[in-house]
Amino acid sequence: MPGIRKSERVPILGDLHGEIMVFEPLQVKQLGLHGATIETAFPLPLNSLHDLRLTLGSGAVVVKARVVHSHVGEMGEEGLRYRSGVEFVEPPAYVGAAITEFLDSLKTT
């Protein structure tokens, strides 16, 4: 039955802060084995960490990335765009293999 709690919830008397992760569309402008240049509709704070879901051909991978630089890009049809350089943080081997395979396929076409 919906709405019935399965465990107790304890009231927080002080402040307890958190963050929410939301996947937003981004445009990959450049891609390499260790990082990427991306374009977003919002600025990304320097040194912030983000999980990026990249669609590489017929598959997708999720990789953690740190913002190393960010600046105002171009004014597009949808409004202002921000361009950021990100470095991948300890990507698993399968992510590196997927990126390498994808980049190799781009070079041959």
pTM: 0.78
- pLDDT at residue 92 in the model: 95
User: Domain spans of the chain?
Assistant: 27-108
CA distances from 66 to 6, 37, 45, 105 (A): 37, 11, 10, 26
- C-alpha 30/C-alpha 102 separation (Å) is 13
pLDDT for 92-109, tens place per residue? 999 999 999 999 999 987
- C-alpha 17/C-alpha 50 separation (Å) is 18
Does the pLDDT value for residue 26 go beyond 80? yes
CATH class of 27-108: mainly beta
pLDDT for 49-90, tens place per residue? 999 999 998 899 999 999 999 999 877 777 899 999 999 999
- pLDDT at residue 33 in the model: 95
